Amino acid sequence: MPNRGNNIQNLKSYGKSKPPLTRDEAMKIGKKGGEASAKARAGAKTAKGILSILNELPASGNNKDKLAILGIPDEMQTQKTMRIVALHQKALTGDAQAQRLVLEIDGEAPAQTLSLEMGIFDKRKLNDVETTLFGTDKK
């Protein structure tokens, strides 16, 4: 996970105030970075795997009864299904964030909009391009 802070003091400056690294030193440092990266990726895979296992755990007790009342087949009565039902119920109460997420899961989320701001210099360049293409000068 990248460090988003302003930690310029953590950076090492080689070649200016310090002599450049030898090939062996660079390889040693690179190897450490590669090992740390592999460990972080493995941790992410592990977390994803654990979540996958938890998602597939069967619903039990009262939750299983609620899913049966809703008409959900036995093989689909999982923890993941319970979370989706809970999200759906929250959306029905008027929670805008839950409604947006339900629509997104269902593939009906509203299109994202892009806001583009242009400076005066950019507007002048655009105007020049329009003049070249269309022969009219828009001010």
Q: What are phi and psi of 38, to 5 degrees?
A: -65, -40
Averaged over 52-75, what is the pLDDT? Answer: 90
Contact 78, 56 (CB under 8 A): yes
- pLDDT reading at 82 higher than 90: yes
Residue among 113, 112, 111, 92 at smallest CA distance from 102: 92
More confident residue, 99 or 21: 99
Q: State the angle between helix axes of 79-92 and 96-106 in degrees (0 to 180), rounded to the nearest 10.
A: 130
The residue extents of the domains of the chain are 21-106
Contact 80, 73 (CB under 8 A): no
Residue 23 pLDDT class (50, 70, 90 cuts): confident
More confident residue, 35 or 20: 35
Lowest mean per-residue pLDDT among 10-14, 58-62, 70-74: 10-14
- Number of other residues whose CB lies within 10 A of the CB of residue 77: 20
More confident residue, 51 or 112: 51
pLDDT at 137: 57
More confident residue, 109 or 86: 86
pLDDT at 83: 93
- pLDDT reading at 91 higher than 90: yes
Mean confidence (pLDDT) of the chain: 80
Contact 81, 59 (CB under 8 A): yes
- pLDDT reading at 87 higher than 90: yes
Q: What is the distance between the terminal CA atoms of the chain, rounded to a whole angstrom?
A: 47
Q: Is 42 helix (H, G, I), strand (E, B) or coil?
A: helix
Distance, CA of 13 to CA of 104 (rounded, Å): 46
